[in-house]
Chain A
Amino acid sequence: MSGHSTYEPKTGIERWLDARLPIVRLGYDSFVDYPTPRNLNYWWTFGGILSLCLASQLITGIILVMHYTPSADHAFASVEHIMRDVNYGWLLRYTHANGASMFFIAVYLHMFRGLYYGSYKPPREVLWILGCVIYLLMMATAFMGYVLPWGQMSFHGAVVITNIIGAIPVIGGPILTWLQGGFAVDNATLNRFFSLHYLLPFMIAGVVILHIWALHVVGQNNPTGIDPKSKHDTLPFTPYATVKDGFAMSVFLILFAVFVFYMPNALGHADNYIEANPLVTPSHIVPEWYFLPFYAILRAVPDKVMGVLAMFGAIGVLFALPWLDTSKVRSMRYRPMAKLYFIILLVVCVILGFCGAKLPDDQVIPGLVTGITPLDNDLNSWVWLSRLATAYYFAYFVVIMPLLGLIETPLPTPETIASPALSHPATTPAGATADAEKKG
């Protein structure tokens, strides 16, 4: 993919710089002349959207720090000071808080796109793993950021998550004290989380650069999953991909703006507007929506240590995915069985999200009386639904993926991306766009 460079410095200054630091050449090769498969659909625009999210979070975050006080006594009031007294402070804070949710919406769509089109398969294993590392760093950053306003949810969220470390036998206790900087979550904990919340986004930015580097070495995957074979299969990044990404970003920003301006607290919790009180836990504590599926997995397992292991395993299994999928065909467009199980996985993840938001012992179908004793007693509860969903989640990666590749007969794949017969019936240029979009 990274063929030889076609950049030609035009002015004397450009030639001078190119001989010393070929940075313009790098930019040109990466974002102008870079060949992209011509059949990329809108699911491929989330990479660009994610860079936009990261930039937005970094800028608003750095500005918010100018007004925020990281102290257990003043954090809550200083956030309210930002909301009330700082010029446009409400805008910055709501953008930052909702930006986290937007970031996760985009990253989940980006990841499921990778899952569906087999973007983790050779030669893109390292690309995929770097993506998983970014996801892990994002989760850590989001969690620590949520602690900073020092509301009730912030505080008790921090208590629950740090106590997970305490589940490690023997050394768990001392490590917990070490992490919290005391015998409970307190000022020391808040300050170190603040420090790390500031640091980690720059680490994310670093890994993002590696991620893009790896992408430019192996090239983009595409909806057919077959490699571009000739110049007919690709188009230069600029203007084709830039304009498409730009349009998608703009549409995404509309959604972002709806949340920031019209429902800024819809994704948060009322309890976080109550200042942290170590002596009372809110009657129903839940993490932010993007952690709900993992929270459901944690609660699904009755044993503390096993629950924690399952939760981390749910993320860890993603790292092993390139070696768990045995199929020769990349894209699920040509894998009817895999497609079915993939859709079930999607549904299961949403179900897990719901389970994470509910009280474990509440009934899934309230007031259901069947006369079947186990169903009336126990099974009709969110905790049992989350057990079922957790089982499928792990089965999908550990059992279904490896087996399917061996037993499934994939549909025939097209010869080339551009071959009209099998990829897309692109005959009339005007109608082609709309048609291709529907298919994606």
Chain B
Amino acid sequence: MTAAAGGAVAVVWPFIDQMNPAADTLALASIEFDLSKVVEGQQVVIKWRGKPVFVRNRTPKEVAAAVKDDSASMKDPQKDAERVKPGHANWLIVGGNCTHLGCVPTFGGGDYGGWFCPCHGSVYDTSGRIRKGPAPKNLVVPDYAFLSDTKVKIG
């Protein structure tokens, strides 16, 4: 009986596991990006693992606005400093998918000077934190590191 059940599971598993990411999909390496191309107040969208990543060179005004709101009431409270690398406060690197249902928010919409998601109206501030709308989490900060002052490695 147990043997039969074990056999059945062993037969079914390949049929389920084939749906998981294939080897070539998993092999997507990390990427390096040259920041010198992004001038202050600008944002570049790069593709990483098939999804957009926002690389934004924030103006001092935007940074100040983000820091000022650190203690405001938020759905997913986080300080601006936790979302950037020390010494590089102007560089905000976040996943470009709304944490609600994955649409790509546009910059410059909404009341918080950050992003606005066209799908269901989530509003993010200049730190990419969720301030209004149905999204449950802040824009995700991917694993990244500064290789030099003008170069980052994402992933």
Task: Tell me the A residues contacting B by CB distance below 8 Å.
Answer: 156, 159-164, 166, 177-179, 181-186, 188, 192, 278-285, 299, 301-304, 307, 359-361, 383
Contacts and interface: CB of A to CB of B under 8 A. Distances in A.
B136 interface: yes
Contact of A164 (B52, B96, B101): B101
B93 to A, nearest CB: 15
A178 B49 contact: no
Contacts of B25: 181-183, 186, 188
A248 B28 CA distance: 56
Contacts of A159: 97, 101-103
10 contacts: A166-B102, A182-B25, A182-B49, A188-B21, A278-B104, A279-B96, A281-B118, A285-B118, A302-B134, A303-B136
B17 to A, nearest CB: 9
Nearest to B137: A304
Contacts of A285: 103, 118-119
A359 B118 CA distance: 8
B135 interface: yes
B134 A307 contact: yes
A192 to B, nearest CB: 7
B50 A186 contact: yes
B19 interface: yes
Which DSSP category, helix, strand, loop or mixed, fits chain A's interface? loop
Count class of interface residues, chain B: 20 to 34
Nearest to B51: A184
B139 to A, nearest CB: 14
A183 B106 contact: no
B135 A279 contact: no
A163 B117 CA distance: 15
Contact of B51 (A160, A166, A183): A183
B45 interface: yes
Contacts of A359: 121
Nearest to A284: B118
A179 B47 CA distance: 21
A283 B101 contact: no
B2 interface: no
B19 A163 contact: no
Interface in B68-117: 96-97, 100-106, 117
Contacts of A164: 101
B118 A283 contact: yes
A359 B116 CA distance: 12
B154 to A, nearest CB: 13
A304 B118 contact: no
Contacts of B49: 182-184
A358 to B, nearest CB: 11
A183 B50 contact: yes
